[in-house]
């Protein structure tokens, strides 16, 4: 009785888990559904068990089930222990061996310059990134729209993470009111182009990073050549017109779009990647808010460290996309409320007949 229940529930759980993986359902939702079905199916088992619990056969079956559960728990704990041992990687040691001059042969140039392995050591020993992940970051090309509140921390951490090429698009200049939150700029840079100020700061952080500054406002002419030449885009602009334009070309060219937004005490972030079957930005925001429904930072204000939190989250998503680590926020939006220290995630749905991605996914 008990063994048949456990076996049948294992089969059902495997089927539901597989369906959840195919539908990209959150882990919590899969576990809740399995728990509900398991609870419903357990009722008749409990009723039957209440009638036969005194029998010798039932006691033997119960003992066998307990032993089986203990074995499963021990197996899971052993597997976790083995994974933890594998995760404790040692830094790569580069040994040089002197060879006779006559035996010397030309060697291919290393991807990393002298000192870079030490610079990125904390990434190289990090599980899920390691050497291959750091190599992918070195070879990546990322476009950042806007060098303001969100762009500032995003650019700083993209450079610190070792992204090989960073392109910046912005047509604004540094103003004194920016310095409350746009941490990549300084008082000395007041009145200079934001892209120039940001590029100079990036070079100070990581001289191995190739920075390309575009002093312009993104438009229909410049969007396609800029976006087509990069691996992914981080959008931290402050207007819906540019956001819709970036989304349109990212969708058309199959480039993942990491979008962040701020409002007073609250920030939000999502990864829009219709090429992977997820909604695009236009699915979630089909029309720009009218009037004062979307106030700017200048009119509504914004908490100083909030752009740093959301901008850093955007880079975390970028690193995951580039290295293949973890699970990116595709099809989900993370909302952070700094006022009450709360975070929540909401599932996003593709828009009905979306004019941008309606024929994709």
Predicted local confidence at residue 67, as pLDDT: 76
Percent over 90 (pLDDT), the chain: 58
Predicted local confidence at residue 46, as pLDDT: 64
Query: Residues 297-330: pLDDT tens digits?
Result: 777 789 999 999 999 999 999 999 999 999 999 9
Predicted local confidence at residue 136, as pLDDT: 95
Average confidence (pLDDT) over 43-72 = 66
Predicted local confidence at residue 119, as pLDDT: 93
Indicate if the pLDDT at residue 30 is higher than 80.
Answer: no
Predicted local confidence at residue 92, as pLDDT: 37
Beta-ladder partners of 267: 262, 336
Place 238 in a pLDDT band, splitting at 50, 70 and 90: confident
C-alpha–C-alpha distance, residues 273 and 329, integer Å: 10
C-alpha–C-alpha distance, residues 13 and 7, integer Å: 10
Lowest-confidence range among 69-83, 152-166, 325-339?
69-83
Of 93, 142, 140, 155, nearest in space to 121 by CA: 93
Domains identified in the chain and CATH numbers: 2-87 (no CATH), 117-347 (3.40.50.720)
* DSSP conformation letters of 320-334: HHHHT-S---BTEEE
Predicted local confidence at residue 40, as pLDDT: 75
Indicate if the pLDDT at residue 91 is higher than 50.
Answer: no
Indicate if the pLDDT at residue 94 is higher than 50.
Answer: no
pLDDT top residue among 235 and 77: 235
Query: Residues 68-87: pLDDT tens digits?
Result: 777 877 877 777 666 655 54
C-alpha–C-alpha distance, residues 143 and 165, integer Å: 9
Query: Residues 177-201: pLDDT tens digits?
Result: 999 999 999 999 999 999 999 999 9
pTM over 0.85: no
Marked catalytic residue, from 209, 237, 280, 297: 297
Predicted local confidence at residue 108, as pLDDT: 39
Indicate if the pLDDT at residue 101 is higher than 60.
Answer: no
pLDDT top residue among 39 and 139: 139
* DSSP conformation letters of 243-289: HHHHHHHHHHHT--EEEEEEEBTEEEEEEE-GGGT---HHHH-SSPP
297 is catalytic: yes
Predicted local confidence at residue 84, as pLDDT: 58
Indicate if the pLDDT at residue 58 is higher than 90.
Answer: no
Note whether 165 and 226 are within 8 A (CB).
no
CA distances (Å), origin 100, targets 97, 109, 110, 221:
10, 20, 21, 57
Predicted local confidence at residue 102, as pLDDT: 42
């Amino acid at each position: 009785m008990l063994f048949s229940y456990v076996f049948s529930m294992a089969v059902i759980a495997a089927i539901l888990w597989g369906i959840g993986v195919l539908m990209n359902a959150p882990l919590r939702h899969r576990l809740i559904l399995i728990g509900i079905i398991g609870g419903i199916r357990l009722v008749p088992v409990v009723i039957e068990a209440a009638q036969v619990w005194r029998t010798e056969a039932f006691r033997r079956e119960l003992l066998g089930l307990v032993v089986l559960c203990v074995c499963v728990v021990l197996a899971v704990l052993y597997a976790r222990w083995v994974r933890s041992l594998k995760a404790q990687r040692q830094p790569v040691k580069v040994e040089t061996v002197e060879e006779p001059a006559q035996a010397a042969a030309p060697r291919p140039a290393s991807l990393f310059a002298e000192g870079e392995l030490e610079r990125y050591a904390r990434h190289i020993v990090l599980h899920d990134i390691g050497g291959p992940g750091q190599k992918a970051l070195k070879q990546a090309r990322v476009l950042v729209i806007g060098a303001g509140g969100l762009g500032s921390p995003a650019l700083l951490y993209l450079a610190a993470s070792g992204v090989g090429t960073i392109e910046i698009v912005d047509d604004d200049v540094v103003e004194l009111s920016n310095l409350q939150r746009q941490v990549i700029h300084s008082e000395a840079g007041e009145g200079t182009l934001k892209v120039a100020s940001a590029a100079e700061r990036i070079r100070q952080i990581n001289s191995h990073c190739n920075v390309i500054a575009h002093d312009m406002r993104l438009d229909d002419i410049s969007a396609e050549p800029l976006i087509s030449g990069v691996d992914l885009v981080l959008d931290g602009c402050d207007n819906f017109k540019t956001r819709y334009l970036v989304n349109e070309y990212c969708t058309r060219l199959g480039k993942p779009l990491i979008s962040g937004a701020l409002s007073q005490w609250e920030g939000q972030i999502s990864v829009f990647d219709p090429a992977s079957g997820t909604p695009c930005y236009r699915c979630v925001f089909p029309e720009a808010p009218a009037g004062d429904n979307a106030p700017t930072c200048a009119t509504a204000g914004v908490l100083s460290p909030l752009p740093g939190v959301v901008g850093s989250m955007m880079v975390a998503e970028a690193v995951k996309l580039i290295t293949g680590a973890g699970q990116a926020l595709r099809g989900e939006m993370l909302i952070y409320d700094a006022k009450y220290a709360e975070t929540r995630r909401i599932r996003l749905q593709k828009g009905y007949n979306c004019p941008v991605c309606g024929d994709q996914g």
